Structure 1
Amino acid sequence: MPNPPRMRAAALTATALLVSALLAGCSDDDSGDEDLTAQELNWKDCPAPSQAQGGGGSPSPLPDDGTWQCATMKAPRDWDDPKGDTIDIELIRVRTSSEENRRIGSLIFNFGGPGGSGVTSLPSFADGFAKLRTRYDLVSFDPRGVGRSEPVRCENDQQLDAYFQQDATPDDADERTELMDSAKEFNAACEKNSEGMLPHVTTTEAARDLDLMRQVLGDDKLHYFGISYGTELGGVYAHLFPRNVGRAVFDAVVDPTTDPEQNALAQAAGFQLALDNFAEDCTSKTEGCPIGDTPQDVKDRIAKLLKGLDSKPIQGIFPRELTQTTATSGILQALYSKSFWEYLAQGLVQAYDGDGSALMRLADASTGRRENGEYSNIVPANVAINCADDKPRYTAEDVERRLPEFRAASNLFGDSLAWSMLSCTDWAVAGAADHPEVGAPGSAPILVVGNTGDPATPYEGARKMVQALGKGVGVEMTYKGQGHGAYNSKNKCVQDAVNGYLLDGKVPAAGTVCS
């Protein structure tokens, strides 16, 4: 994809950056206009997801007949003008499975992206959070600019097909010009088609929506589970409203101290580590590895495949071809979870035989494309939120100057992640800050869980988040595992610690290690 987006959960990840000026003078006072905090939500059966949310059918009841309900919350379009125009924020919930007297409150999830629809994600993952539902209503939402919450819109489906197949790693001046022109066209389409939302999708404003949500749901404290970019949103919330933080968990932790360039470089190393682990795992199996005899052989063959696709694509999903860019996207998507490794191996075997359909399906998952050719708005929302948050604007010369360092971090993924830094070049709205402010003195403890094998939010980010939250706030826990996140690995040690905190208020000892 030209100018691939820096996605924190569904594709490539990077740190969203916030404006310190907007944070100055903020306090723990209740958010927003009195009329908005007094609004009553009209919960009803959830409709089928919109195209922007990803399409499909309405969420099915849970095994115990727990039913999904959706509602729309009004929030200020511009939090600097809280009595001005409002926008709609779409929410979803399932009530607690236990008696009301055991209910703690609402547990609000953000699954990352930025740009992912919480309204569609929560039903998909709810089985994994059944234990938490014994004492909480499980709640999620589409952040502003996402899904049914005033979605950012850019190019149409046909244009996006072409956009994601173009060469994202230019080898000469002509290819570089094509990349830059394509990005400029995409960004101009976002400005034209998003009905003035681009200045109002910052993480700071989303954090203010969270506090309004807390009040409208009737909770004295915000109980929160943030994953990937959701950890950054949670950190910004804790900074703005430290005394309103209840029990909070950050999993797959974004480093709040890095700028987009530093984060992209860390990801290059993180995805390379994941690829190394995948190759080692494949070749260690007694039945043999179908894509190479040694870990280095596996990586060499993948490199040869990608190099060949740069000049000669193969058949993907008709009528699209698998290009170097789409193959790279598919490989990166598969490295997000160890459970996808077998599909990556199968996809590579097929690609070596000239069939790129499996790798293309993985790439489609990262860009929100359904089989019918329709795209969700995860990529437009991701780019818009990143660019509203990120102050730096990079040039092609900046990228070329740093390419050797990116290639040293990963000869397979370095170029792609380096060129992704151009995502916000020529964006219509100025970025807010170099990095988010997450210092939260006075907050309740926040459990911060880092995964040593996480490719998208490298492990070091957890420690940086703990330090940035401040003394006595962040409680660091380590999971020695693979993939993006820890709780969803189903590791008993991790889940017992997280459940013990959220359900019973038992804070794990700082430095707890699970493997």
Structure 2
Amino acid sequence: MAGCSGGPSDGGGDGSDGKDRSGPSTPAQSDASASVLPSSLTAQKLDWGHCKATADSAAPSADWQCATLKTPLDWSEPDGKTIGIALIRARATGDDRIGSLLFNFGGPGASGVSSMPYFAATTPKLRARYDLVSWDPRGVGASEGVRCRSDRDVQAAETVDNTPDTPAEEKAYFKDAADFGRSCARAAGTLLAHVSTTDSARDMDLMRLVLGDTRLHYFGMSYGTELGGVYAHLFPKNVGRMILDGVVDPTADSVGQSENQARGFQRALDDYLKSIEEDPRKGSQKIVSLLDRLDAKPLPTSSGRGLNQSLALTGIVLPLYSESRWPELTDALQAAARGDGSALLSLADEYDERDSSGRYGTSSQSQRVISCLDDKRRPTPEEAKKRLPEFDRISPVFGEFLGWDTAGWCYDWPVAGQFDTPQVSAPGAAPILLVGNTGDPATPYEGARRMADELGKGVGVELTWKGEGHVAYGSGSDCVDTTVDAYLLDGKVPKDGKVCS
């Protein structure tokens, strides 16, 4: 059992006395969005029915229901064209129901419809008191999901060198990036300009209203924390019990986010290397040497496909998301050192959602579509090259890839970006619990404190877990789980700065 420090789980940080200050019985505050929306949206009745199998997952058990929410394509024209948002829910199993608890699993681009039933199996206490609800955000999965490339084109793009060393490789890299944007424009049409985080936050408030909740109870993970912060900024009086786990740094622009990830993944890799009694500096250099060799000549695999540098790096990234998978990384690196790239390729395929038949999932395509609409700052290739030494200093393993990515990710994108950094200040909102993991590779720990500062005094309450892997709830800390459950189930706000070790 992991220990706790920093005060009891029902302590009162920021002047809190541990009492519920965001419960469902609190009268609804004025709803700015509902007052200007047509009744065809606000009064719509969801037609809940049996969930069907999707291309990416089998149909869940019969206790899950699915429905479609009608929401404006363009929130500036609420009387205009609408799109469908796919929802999934399981009703509360107990008698003491609190309301709905919405989940976003990150990405951006993760399918809540596919993920919710699997996650719910680990949270029986929450399921007893809440209707567990998730959705595919606009541009994702069953909600007008965007498929920019065919499976064949995705596989072909894997041969593009993502760390170009020559003018020819650089030309091919940026040509591929521009081609991706153009194919997204053809596939998505007018939707491409309406899949932003702000659009999804407004969808959430309509969801809250149609579900019949006076306040929004929400559990956001990874990118879902940014979405939660944006929602709190837009609708502070509608915030109920909100958990943000694996917190995105809202003060970082697109370049800063890449620097954060380089720092976070290198930190996680260093921790992994220490766990196998390998000096982090020497271990990282061995991996860099392996990647350099693969840049020159891919390794053979049992599938007949070659393991190149980019695929190998992807295969290294995946196990860093969970400490329980570190042994797989050891086995894969050892096999690669012997000349067999099969294990690293298998890990890369899992990350890329590639199945044995060569079919790819679309979450990474949706991720790019959403984040490029959000991000206003788009460095040029020349600017990215100038930053490469700094990225390499931050991370000898991941820095070069993420440095190039600052320019390649949204290169020549057909739609203008919306902001440099998201607005998340939420004065007057109920306390929001932020869970930061000191070993988180994808959303480094420092983001939780920065989100707390941006949300404002008395709003952001920080909980630290001294752990490894991405996000904390359900990752093995009884301290984290009981603190989060006490907040969500009983409204007990922990002391700001509480630490679980």
Aligned to 1:95: 91
Aligned to 1:82: 78
Aligned to 1:487: 473
Q: Of 454, 457, 465, which residue of structure 1 is paired with 2:451?
A: 465
SS of 1:499's equivalent in the other structure is: helix
For structure 1, which segment, 182-191 or 364-373, has the greater mean C-alpha deviation from structure 2 after superposition?
364-373
> Contact (CA 8 Å) 1:147, 1:376: kept in 2 or not?
no
Aligned to 1:413: 398
Q: Of 284, 293, 302, which residue of structure 2 is paired with 1:308?
A: 293
Q: Does 1:247 align with 2:241?
A: yes
Aligned to 2:330: 345
Q: Distance in 2 between matches of 1:280 and 1:400?
A: 31
> What TM-score, normalized to structure 2?
0.91
Superposed CA offset, 1:122-172 (max 9, x none): 112222222211210111100000000001121110010111232100112
Q: Distance in 1 between matches of 2:301 and 2:245?
A: 35
Aligned to 2:217: 223
Aligned to 1:427: 413
Q: Distance in 1 between matches of 2:61 and 2:344?
A: 29
Q: Does 1:36 align with 2:41?
A: yes
Q: Give 1:39 deviation, angstroms.
A: 1.0
2:49 maps to amino acid? K
Once the two structures are superposed, the pairs formed by residues 240-319 of structure 1 within 5 Å of their partners are 240-283=234-277, 294-316=279-301, 318-319=303-304
Q: Distance in 2 between matches of 1:235 and 1:386?
A: 16
Once the two structures are superposed, the pairs formed by residues 178-197 of structure 1 within 5 Å of their partners are 178-197=172-191
Aligned to 2:349: 364
SS of 2:190's equivalent in the other structure is: coil
> Contact (CA 8 Å) 1:453, 1:482: kept in 2 or not?
yes
> Contact (CA 8 Å) 1:76, 1:86: kept in 2 or not?
yes
Once the two structures are superposed, the pairs formed by residues 175-214 of structure 1 within 5 Å of their partners are 175-214=169-208
Once the two structures are superposed, the pairs formed by residues 150-161 of structure 1 within 5 Å of their partners are 150-161=144-155
> Contact (CA 8 Å) 1:268, 1:413: kept in 2 or not?
yes
> Contact (CA 8 Å) 2:57, 2:114: kept in 1 or not?
no
Q: Give 1:232 deviation, angstroms.
A: 0.4
Q: Give 1:56 deviation, angstroms.
A: 3.2
Q: Give 1:257 deviation, angstroms.
A: 0.6
For structure 1, which segment, 135-144 or 356-365, has the greater mean C-alpha deviation from structure 2 after superposition?
356-365
> Contact (CA 8 Å) 2:312, 2:344: kept in 1 or not?
yes
Superposed CA offset, 1:226-275 (max 9, x none): 00000000000001111111100000000001101111111111111100
1:409 maps to amino acid? I
Q: Give 1:342 deviation, angstroms.
A: 1.1
Superposed CA offset, 1:95-117 (max 9, x none): 11212xx0000100000000010
Which structure 1 residue ranges, 4+ long, deviate > 4 Å from structure 2? 293-297
Aligned to 2:318: 333
Q: Distance in 2 between matches of 1:199 and 1:454?
A: 31
Q: Which runs of 5+ in 2 are unaligned?
A: 1-29
2:402 maps to amino acid? L
1:421 maps to amino acid? T
1:428 maps to amino acid? P
> Contact (CA 8 Å) 1:72, 1:90: kept in 2 or not?
yes
> Contact (CA 8 Å) 1:27, 1:240: kept in 2 or not?
no
Q: Distance in 2 between matches of 1:446 and 1:249?
A: 6
SS of 1:220's equivalent in the other structure is: coil
> What TM-score, normalized to structure 1?
0.89
Aligned to 2:8: none
> Contact (CA 8 Å) 1:317, 1:360: kept in 2 or not?
no
> Contact (CA 8 Å) 1:28, 1:242: kept in 2 or not?
no
Q: Distance in 1 between matches of 2:124 and 2:110?
A: 21
Aligned length: 470
Q: Distance in 1 between matches of 2:280 and 2:387?
A: 27
Aligned to 1:440: 426
Superposed CA offset, 1:407-427 (max 9, x none): 000111100111111211100
| Residues 1:316 and 1:39: Cα distance change in structure 2 (over 3 Å) | farther
Q: Distance in 1 between matches of 2:493 and 2:321?
A: 28
> Contact (CA 8 Å) 2:284, 2:396: kept in 1 or not?
no
Q: Of 69, 86, 89, which residue of structure 2 is paired with 1:73?
A: 69
Aligned to 1:45: 50
Q: Distance in 1 between matches of 2:282 and 2:454?
A: 41
Superposed CA offset, 1:257-307 (max 9, x none): 110111111111111110000011122xxxxxxxxx654443332222111
Q: Distance in 1 between matches of 2:323 and 2:47?
A: 40
> Contact (CA 8 Å) 1:309, 1:323: kept in 2 or not?
yes
Q: Distance in 1 between matches of 2:474 and 2:301?
A: 31
SS of 1:107's equivalent in the other structure is: strand
SS of 2:122's equivalent in the other structure is: helix
Q: Distance in 1 between matches of 2:302 and 2:213?
A: 48
SS of 1:165's equivalent in the other structure is: coil
1:200 maps to amino acid? H
Q: Which runs of 5+ in 1 are unaligned?
A: 1-25, 62-66, 284-292
Q: Distance in 1 between matches of 2:302 and 2:194?
A: 37
Q: Distance in 2 between matches of 1:488 and 1:331?
A: 23
Q: Distance in 1 between matches of 2:37 and 2:478?
A: 40
> Contact (CA 8 Å) 2:50, 2:66: kept in 1 or not?
yes
| Residues 1:69 and 1:316: Cα distance change in structure 2 (over 3 Å) | farther
SS of 2:86's equivalent in the other structure is: strand
SS of 2:366's equivalent in the other structure is: helix
Aligned to 2:7: none
For structure 1, which segment, 390-399 or 345-354, has the greater mean C-alpha deviation from structure 2 after superposition?
345-354
> Contact (CA 8 Å) 1:92, 1:141: kept in 2 or not?
yes
Q: Give 1:490 deviation, angstroms.
A: 2.5
